[in-house]
Amino acid sequence: MKLAVILLSVLLIVIVGALAFAVYKIVSMKKAASMSLDVDEMTGLLNRDGFMREGKLLLSHIHSHADGEAAMIVFDVDKLRLINTLFGTESGDNVVCAFADALREIAGKGDVVGRVDTDDFALLTKLHGRNADMIAESFAKVLSEKIQNDKLHEQVNYFAGICRYDGADDIYTLFNKANLCLLTHGENQRVSEFTADMESRMVENEIMRSEMLDALDNGQFELYYQPKVSFKTGEMMGVEALIRWHHPVKGFIPPCDFIPLAEQFGIITKIDEWGLMTACRQGKAWHDAGLRDIKISVNMSQAQFVRTDVYSTVVHALAETGFEPSCLEIEVTETMAMTDVEHTVAVLNRIHELGVLISMDDFGTGYSSLASLKTIPFDVLKIDRSLVCDVNDNDTSRRITSAIVAMGKALKMIVLAEGVETDEQSKLLTDLGCDLAQGYYYSKPRPADDIAKILTSPSQFDMAI
């Protein structure tokens, strides 16, 4: 009997032990599976879920042990898509891995590093007396060493947003605040640190952003058209499409107040696509109504070239509306033409091959790149208003304008003077050999119906002069 009890007890212990082992195995397998799901395959870093999980643990450790200062730093790899396009995806992958390696190298013991999105990394780090700039500086140095290829080196850039841990924020808030810096940083500011006013600015910007999206859906944008006039004949040769926003509450908002924000929010591509389609549709309607084959020029932002397939957008707009390619003109600025040169040149050449004209806008304000004049098939050179406005009074402006006209002519381009406001300017620019004029002296930008009236009865245009 005694033996039977002992045997039963041993059996019970074995069964319980086996059960406990099985449960332990299942739990650890599950944990291992979830851990491997939380790792980014390419870099071996934690992915977003893994980063948040480990970050949460580190924050609670710092909080409960009052364990020194810490900060969240997020890194946004700039133009990764462009790097993939220009150098191939293998190079893009190498850049991503270089970022991961550099972050591993600057991270201290116990810090958490993750690849939280395709082109975003995050580091939750104990500061150990370092400030944000010191960390950013050492990252820049290590990253630079990791990218060997000179051409690639030129293209690789990033923005970093930093938020110090104040002991109160949870991991998600801290991460969002660091990300906010990426959205609000200045154009030439590579590293920016979170400040409280960023949040209020962010709220205002968020309202503006959603209002702009509403404006697109609800038809609050309208294109006005400004005539381009032949200096010689006074005839309207074309128009430039310029966007106007009729806000239901704030009233009229000029483009200079919302285009830069639209660029910052990434909405500009939607706006420009709308503008291109609307202008092509309008041009086709004018042509169908028997009006002359007037040319329409459309402004294109840099983002359109960097972030979208602008060639396909143009092809689509032409096909959808049936507008004549030779009547469409795309305006790009010289600064744009100098950024991401190879890509921009290739795209502009393809668009030009469709028969679409390309014009260089605001010439004389940026670098006045002669190299881009050589590689981009510009048909029209638009001399900026800042030169035209004092061409009669300032000898230097006159000489520069004269040199630009000579250069444009030598390169067989049509030369247009922007912002012509007076009779004196008009006369002098005619003498200097400019072909076309655009400016208030001839006409302000006008609604489409006004342009139709000018087209049907050119004498109406004389009244506007």
299 lies in the binding site for Ca ion (CB under 5 A): yes
272 lies in the binding site for Ca ion (CB under 5 A): no
User: Which one from 240, 273, 334, 418 is the annotated catalytic residue?
Assistant: 418
Question: With contact defined as beta carbons under 8 Å apart, do 361 and 299 qualify?
Answer: yes
Question: Shortest gap between Cβ of 299 and Ca ion (angstroms)?
Answer: 5
Stretch that binds Ca ion, among 200-208, 212-220, 329-337, 364-372 (CB under 5 A): 329-337
Question: Shortest gap between Cβ of 389 and ligand C2E (angstroms)?
Answer: 8
The single-letter DSSP state of residue 294 is -
The single-letter DSSP state of residue 365 is S
Q: Which of 139, 383, 419, 452 binds ligand C2E (CB under 6 A)?
A: 419
Question: Shortest gap between Cβ of 272 and ligand C2E (angstroms)?
Answer: 5
Q: Which of 243, 383, 387, 428 binds ligand C2E (CB under 6 A)?
A: 243
* Residue indicated by tokens 């940026």: 366
Q: Which of 121, 414, 439, 450 binds ligand C2E (CB under 6 A)?
A: 439
| Whole-Å CA distances, 454 to 226, 228, 239, 271, 442 | 12, 12, 11, 27, 12
Nearer to ligand C2E, 69 or 421 (CB): 421
Compute and round to an integer the Cα radius of gyration of the chain. 30
Q: Which of 361, 380, 387, 446 binds ligand C2E (CB under 6 A)?
A: 361
- Cβ-Cβ contacts under 8 Å for 465 (sequence gap 6 or more): 234, 441, 442, 443
377 lies in the binding site for ligand C2E (CB under 6 A): no
Q: Examine the residue annotation and report whether 145 is marked as an active-site residue of this protein.
A: no
Nearer to Ca ion, 125 or 297 (CB): 297
Pick from 387, 278, 296, 378: nearest CA to 336? 378
CA atoms of 419 and 439, how far apart (whole Å): 4
450 lies in the binding site for Ca ion (CB under 5 A): no
Question: Shortest gap between Cβ of 50 and ligand C2E (angstroms)?
Answer: 40
Q: Tell me, letter by letter, the H, E, C secondary structure of 392-430.
A: CCCHHHHHHHHHHHHHHHHCCCEEEEECCCCHHHHHHHH
Which 388-427 residues touch Ca ion, going by CB under 5 A? 418
The single-letter DSSP state of residue 188 is T
3-state secondary structure of 439: coil
Nearer to ligand C2E, 107 or 437 (CB): 437
> How far is residue 256 CA from its own chain's centroid?
17
Please give the structure tokens belonging to residue 418: 């922007």
Question: With contact defined as beta carbons under 8 Å apart, do 279 and 314 qualify?
Answer: no
361 lies in the binding site for Ca ion (CB under 5 A): yes
Q: Which of 78, 138, 421, 464 binds ligand C2E (CB under 6 A)?
A: 421
Which 253-282 residues touch ligand C2E, going by CB under 6 A? 254-256, 259, 268, 272, 275
Stretch that binds ligand C2E, among 85-93, 203-211, 396-404, 416-424 (CB under 6 A): 416-424
417 lies in the binding site for ligand C2E (CB under 6 A): no
Nearer to Ca ion, 85 or 368 (CB): 368
Question: Shortest gap between Cβ of 154 and Ca ion (angstroms)?
Answer: 29
Other CB atoms within a 10 A radius of the CB of residue 254 amount to: 11
Which 209-238 residues touch ligand C2E, going by CB under 6 A? 226
Q: Of these partners, ligand C2E, Ca ion, none, which one is at the site of residue 256 (CB under 5 to 8 Å by kind)?
A: ligand C2E
Pick from 402, 361, 403: nearest CA to 383? 361
283 lies in the binding site for ligand C2E (CB under 6 A): no
| 76-80 long-range contacts, CB within 8 A, separation 24+ | 76/119, 76/120, 76/158, 76/159, 76/160, 76/161, 76/182, 77/119, 77/120, 77/121, 77/156, 77/158, 78/156, 78/157, 78/158, 78/159, 79/155, 79/157, 79/306, 79/340, 80/118, 80/119
Q: Catalytic amino acids?
A: 418
Interacting residues toward ligand C2E by CB under 6 A: 226, 242-243, 254-256, 259, 268, 272, 275, 299, 301, 361-362, 419-421, 438-440, 445
* Interface contacts to Ca ion, rule CB under 5 A: 299, 331, 361-362, 418
